[in-house]
A and B are shown apart, each in its own frame.
Chain A
Amino acid sequence: MNKTVRVALVALLCVGAAACSKKAEVKPQPPMEQNTQTQTQASDGKYTPADLDTDACLRQRVVYFDFDKTEIKPEFQQIMACHAKYLQDRPMSHIRLEGNTDERGTREYNLGLGERRGNAVSSALQAAGGSASQLEVISYGKEKPVCREHNEDCWGKNRRVEIVYTAQ
């Protein structure tokens, strides 16, 4: 490898690292011990769109997965519950579930894996009370990584489903 290439690679690695640390901010918080819903809900106990910005549970919009796994891990069950409640409280609201994978394997197979994870989150939200008509799944496979290093820490950040409200 010539020197120019090496310099270029180092530069790219730095860019990748910056992207990683930036994205780390949206990593979900550890599950809250207390139920946070009481302090932010409207008086009738229903969520309002304002809660999407303020409620500690609703603000968590990323579900992470273990390698080659589609199961929703226990620590994300509370997130499933609050978003499902929001869907119930706001029947006109709509969520797009964006499935993503790590870089290992081919692009097309990873499209399938991302969709499988999106479907798993969709099923969990429905099981917790959300309606199928409020949910849509799209898979980006490995096309939209948030971290570009080649290690498990980075791969774990990329194996995710992002919860995107397309209608509040």
Chain B
Amino acid sequence: MIKPMRKLSSSFALVLLAITALFVGPVSAQSLNVDIVGGVKTATPIVVVPFAQQGGAPLSTDIADVMRNDFNRSGKFRSLAKSDIVETPSKGSDIKFATWRLLKQDYITVGRVSDAGGGMTRVEYELWDVNKQQSLLAQAFTVPAGDLRGVAHQIADQIYEKITGVRGAFWTRIAYITAVGLGNNTSYSLIVADSDGFNPQVVARSKESLLSPAWSPDGRKIAYVSFESGNSNIYIQDITTGSRQLVSSHKGINGAPAWSPDGRKLALALSYVGNPEIFVLDLGSRQETRLTNSLSIDTEPTWAPDGQSIYFTSDRSGRPQIYQVPAGGGAAERVTFQGQNNLKASVSYDGKQIAMVQGNGNVYRIAILDRSLGGQVRYVSPGPIDDAVSFAPNASMLLYAATEGSRGVLYSVSNDGMVRQRLALADGNVQEPAWGPYRQR
């Protein structure tokens, strides 16, 4: 179903790696290699002209390049390759629309960058409709010179929203775990990076397994599971200050933390009662409320966007399937019926789509259940050993973990499954992805 139709030049990843190398700080993590597979003929064609630079030192970030990559991996847009951009206007008044009509482009973005003094950079851009020759957006940002990738993502978000009507989610962050080394020499890191895999920063390190990172709704903290003390325990760590608190260390499994939409509670899987059950921990009062009671494995809770119910994985029917239980307690109802195994639900912001890991025989792929389409399931990954999935906050893309050879890699994939971007370490495994919330502008 996913046909690799096009791949950006293999030097692409290396070029981008060279660019990020300039930003390496004391807590930077090993860079991810990034490349894109797939492509959609029906995607909207857009040209992002290289931004003109007026004075100042050469920029370390090619803003237009970052935007083109964002548009391409969304699956909604197909941006004209840089090498095909024959003219380089930097203002709307300089655009020769006939040129871009001939190249069958629907939209054009032009922009310019100038030194604003005091280490600040001014970035201006305009979005035009090629056929109507009409200005759609024009805006300026003044930002620290080191934040040009962030500006590029924010511009891409504004354009994405203007054209599709859906809020863009390029200016967001992702969390994941890296495992480098083999056997007892493996070292684990919890990493936070930009949504395109750039600017990876180490949040926590451990000689033992780390798993299940979960973003707080305000994007400031991450809850995760660490085996550093021998058993699985759950910690909450502040991303910026690094301060950390132990929130669950019962006997047995302390796993699968998930924040409530209001950020006040954590749903967990705890097995000190004999087998894994879903609990809700009130982070203020520290009171634990048990939600499930079965002899099966109940785990991987995730909140419905309205906070009224919790989805979770349970094998009470013999095989793991997704269930839903009222957040205040009550009877659980089975949600998935198609597929031998369904695990680890991720729910879209509107609650209509449930992404999950679906296993049939030895093949585990990412499936999306659309509840508005009567329970229809479609696949967005080829498998065969995919094991985690997380929706972007606008549900236009998903991030999932796959295994290639003996290496763990991440893919971001467009919601229609047509475009995938691989995020891989040159040396080591990348796993347990979690897409963060929108950032505050």
A residues with CB within 8 A of B: 2, 5, 8-10, 12-13, 15-16, 19, 103-109, 111-113, 115-116, 119, 137-140, 143-144, 148-150
Contacts and interface: CB of A to CB of B under 8 A. Distances in A.
Contacts of A150: 384-385, 403
11 contacts: A5-B424, A9-B404, A104-B385, A105-B320, A106-B300, A108-B211, A108-B344, A111-B255, A112-B269, A115-B276, A137-B252
Given A19-B183, A104-B362, A140 B209 contact: yes
Contacts of B255: 108, 111
Contacts of A112: 253, 269, 271, 275-276, 297, 299, 315
B300 A15 contact: no
A106 B406 contact: no
Interface residues of B, number: 45
B160 to A, nearest CB: 29
B251 to A, nearest CB: 9
B105 interface: no
B405 interface: yes
Nearest to B13: A2
A104 to B, nearest CB: 6
A129 B86 CA distance: 82
B130 interface: no
B195 to A, nearest CB: 22
A15 B182 CA distance: 9
Contacts of A105: 320, 341, 343, 357, 359, 364, 387
Contacts of B406: 9, 12-13, 15-16, 148-149
Interface of B: 10, 35, 182-183, 209, 211-212, 227, 230-232, 252-253, 255-256, 269, 271, 275-276, 297, 299-300, 313, 315, 320, 341, 343-344, 357, 359, 362, 364, 384-385, 387-388, 403-407, 424, 426, 431-432
A139 B362 CA distance: 22
A145 to B, nearest CB: 9
Contacts of B230: 138
A143 B252 CA distance: 16
Contacts of B344: 106, 108-109
Given A105-B357, A112-B275, 14 more contacts: A9-B407, A12-B407, A13-B406, A108-B269, A109-B300, A112-B253, A112-B271, A115-B275, A116-B275, A116-B297, A140-B227, A143-B209, A148-B406, A150-B385
Contacts of B384: 150
A63 to B, nearest CB: 19
A105 B388 CA distance: 9
Contacts of B232: 111, 139
Contacts of A104: 359, 362, 364, 385
Contact of B432 (A5, A103, A107): A107
Contacts of A106: 300, 313, 343-344, 357, 387-388
Contact of A139 (B253, B313, B404): B253
A133 to B, nearest CB: 13
B359 A115 contact: no
Contacts of A108: 211-212, 255-256, 269, 299-300, 313, 344
A144 B256 CA distance: 18
B283 to A, nearest CB: 20
A111 B320 contact: no
Contacts of B183: 19
A62 to B, nearest CB: 16
A19 B406 CA distance: 12
B385 A115 contact: no
Nearest to B183: A19
Nearest to B274: A119
A98 to B, nearest CB: 11
B341 to A, nearest CB: 7
A21 to B, nearest CB: 14
Contact of A2 (B10, B182, B256, B403): B10
Contacts of B385: 103-104, 150
A107 B275 contact: no
A107 B231 contact: no
Nearest to B357: A106
Nearest to B428: A12
Contacts of A8: 407, 426
A143 B407 CA distance: 14
Given A9-B405, A113-B297, A138 B231 contact: yes
A149 B407 CA distance: 10
Nearest to B255: A108
